[in-house]
Structure 1
Amino acid sequence: MNNTFYKENNLSGLKRADFQKIVDGKETDLFILSNQQGTEVAITNYGGAILTVMVPDKNGKLANVVQGHDSIDNVINSHEPFLSTLIGRYGNRIAKGSFLMDGQEHNLTINNGPNSLHGGPTGFHARVWDAKQEDEHSVTLHYLSKDGEEGFPGNLDITVTYTLTGENELVITYVANCDKKTITNLTNHAFFSLAGLNNPTPTVDNNIVTINADFYIPIDEVSIPTGEVLKVEGTPMD
């Protein structure tokens, strides 16, 4: 595979040889994005997994701020298969692995209790994407999800571009087209730790997240929304 912009001495220390493998007849590889701010992002075309995001802090000290993997085998065999990968055809859960569209029931592969989760056990996270890198700032991945894959209707043609900007933004752009009416909900399941994944690995204990919401939707015992809309005020979420 042509990989002109790979850097042997990349900031993450990842080695291209550790990510080169033939999976389902297609090549996997390691791609490095970089900018003038000293930031580097490492990505593999297996599942579009983000492996590392090396970014300098205010003192110029580098840290990896995303949970990833150090080899293609670890990506494939991870006990957290969705970790920092592309998610599809449909992110999150579909209750009982079934949905109705235009009066027709579509039954999906079940992989999370009674539900279909993140597109199924061999969703986009477990596919080798075609990759093309034309500059050091971005890489474009392409995958054709065939009609009936994991139970979803239509041939879904997807292009995902990762771009590292000069302002240290990692932008992920999704474009999808289908030859049938279908459903899709694309995302990336990156796990960030903005304090850096150093030793010892930090916990969430000293992090504060604020969501400006007046209402929330509760979920049932299998993480499916109940349909209720409840007030945040006076609850543990307040």
Structure 2
Amino acid sequence: MKVEKQSFGKTASGEEALLYTITNKNGMSVNFTDFGAIIVKIIVPDRWGKLEDVVLGYDDLASYEHNEPGYGSLIGRNANRIKNAVIHINNKTYNLEKNDGQNNLHGGSISYNKYMYKTKVLCEDNLASIEFFRVSPDMEQGFPGELKVSMTYTLTDDNELILKYHAVSNQDTVVNLTNHSYFNLSGHGSGTVLNQKVKILANEFTPTDDELIPTGEIREVSGTPMDFQTLKSIGQDIFKDYIPLKQAGGYDHNYILNNYKNNQGNTVEKAAELMDDKSGRVMEVYTDMPGMQLYTGNFITGTETGKEGFVYEKQGGVCFETQYYPNSCNTPNFPSSIRKAGETYDHCTIFKFSVSK
């Protein structure tokens, strides 16, 4: 296992950013930067051994300072949407930034992907880890409590990329962290993911209103275009005349994972799978989180240049954002994203890569 680092340039404020690369014995490699704790590249072999970068992103630091789609990003303090950009904790109201209509999205326009992180590197024979950590001060983004947060990425020789989230606050607060990588198993510049197949181990999802805020309803996926209980192509039903798909312009919905329903997330279990028949690449998603947002890049504009000069198309990547449900801090019948002072937030997600026969 090999870990390398190099300069990734300076931020607009003059801070030096570094690019870290972990490579395993199979030739799989992952690039990260301490600006935003962002995943910059994931390079994995296809069924013939050809290596390809399978996540959307940018070649330069300046682009990541803007990064409106959130490519590769650590998202916090709260992933996804909060209705009316308001939270209530201990009978006190906190007003957040309205950066998505009247709602708060991903904590605000400055999410956790816009800060510099300190780093620790651990390298062993069969795995290597990089921990990115910082202190989010009290009332940053409008959230109460000083939050000590760390994001640890580990690459194994089994082609597993393990994401471990850890946080603790000195006040009761909302904590809901995720990673916002856009995957395209044919290669980041290969076009849309509509022909790639998805399976989600979830019997239910949370329908939304027109602003993509869950209504509180829990709905069965069976018999609807939301059903991914068996492998099917993303494009098979995405353009169907179905209200949730019309509201979001595609898939942008939270699935209630069976693992959490069955054992309250006490173990890390398989939640989803992405398969690309063209390259033979397969990615399995494992997590202990209660929900997962399937997002098919519906808001990619088709005008912005990404890595290697490619202009990414709408639906050019798909996200598997493991999470507490959107607006769960304000919805009593959802698993709560509120952490008590001193209570540890520890969650794990794994992206495991392989090839089909």
TM range (shorter): 0.7 to 0.9
Describe the SS at the equivalent of 2:200: coil
Tell me the residue number matched to 1:12.
none
Correspondence for 1:163 among 150, 154, 169:
154
Alignment of 1:36 onto 2:34: no
State the Cα distance separating 1:23 from its structure 2 match. Answer: 5.1
- 2: distance between equivalents of 1:212 and 1:43? 29
- 2: distance between equivalents of 1:211 and 1:140? 29
State the Cα distance separating 1:22 from its structure 2 match. Answer: 4.3
- 1: distance between equivalents of 2:137 and 2:118? 15
CA contact (8 A) 1:38 1:55 kept: yes
Correspondence for 1:235 among 218, 224, 231:
224
- 2: distance between equivalents of 1:73 and 1:211? 35
CA RMSD of aligned residues (A): 1.9
Alignment of 1:96 onto 2:87: no
- 1: distance between equivalents of 2:46 and 2:144? 46
Tell me the residue number matched to 1:6.
4
Residues 208 and 170 of structure 1, relative CA distance in 2, 3 Å threshold: same
CA contact (8 A) 1:27 1:128 kept: no
- 2: distance between equivalents of 1:68 and 1:159? 22
Residues 88-97 or 228-237, more deviating: 228-237
CA contact (8 A) 2:137 2:145 kept: yes
CA offset digits 1:194-229 (Å, max 9, x no partner): 22225xx13222122223443332111111001122
More strand by share: 2
Report the AA paired with residue 108 of structure 2. G
Tell me the residue number matched to 1:183.
174
Correspondences of 1:1-238 after superposition (within 5 Å): 5-6=3-4, 16-17=6-7, 19-22=8-11, 24=13, 26-80=15-69, 82-135=70-123, 137-198=128-189, 201-238=190-227
Moved over 6 A (4+): none
Describe the SS at the equivalent of 2:64: helix
Describe the SS at the equivalent of 2:22: strand
Residues 33 and 104 of structure 1, relative CA distance in 2, 3 Å threshold: same
- 2: distance between equivalents of 1:204 and 1:223? 22
CA contact (8 A) 1:23 1:128 kept: no
- 1: distance between equivalents of 2:131 and 2:23? 15
CA contact (8 A) 1:120 1:150 kept: yes
Describe the SS at the equivalent of 1:76: helix
- 2: distance between equivalents of 1:134 and 1:157? 20
How many residues matched?
223
Report the AA paired with residue 157 of structure 2. G
Residues 136-145 or 147-156, more deviating: 136-145
Residues 157 and 206 of structure 1, relative CA distance in 2, 3 Å threshold: same
TM-score by length of 1: 0.87
CA contact (8 A) 1:45 1:141 kept: yes
Describe the SS at the equivalent of 1:66: coil
Using the aligned pairs only, state the percent identity: 39
Residues 24 and 132 of structure 1, relative CA distance in 2, 3 Å threshold: farther
CA contact (8 A) 1:43 1:49 kept: yes
State the Cα distance separating 1:26 from its structure 2 match. Answer: 3.6
CA offset digits 1:72-130 (Å, max 9, x no partner): 011113342x2111000000001111011121111111211111111111120111111
State the Cα distance separating 1:189 from its structure 2 match. Answer: 0.4
List runs of 5+ in structure 2 lacking aligned partners.
Answer: 228-357
- 1: distance between equivalents of 2:166 and 2:123? 20
Residues 132 and 212 of structure 1, relative CA distance in 2, 3 Å threshold: closer
Tell me the residue number matched to 1:11.
none
- 1: distance between equivalents of 2:34 and 2:95? 28
State the Cα distance separating 1:152 from its structure 2 match. Answer: 0.3
Report the AA paired with residue 72 of structure 2. S
- 2: distance between equivalents of 1:102 and 1:138? 37
- 2: distance between equivalents of 1:52 and 1:5? 14
Residues 236 and 43 of structure 1, relative CA distance in 2, 3 Å threshold: same
State the Cα distance separating 1:48 from its structure 2 match. Answer: 1.1
Residues 226 and 92 of structure 1, relative CA distance in 2, 3 Å threshold: same
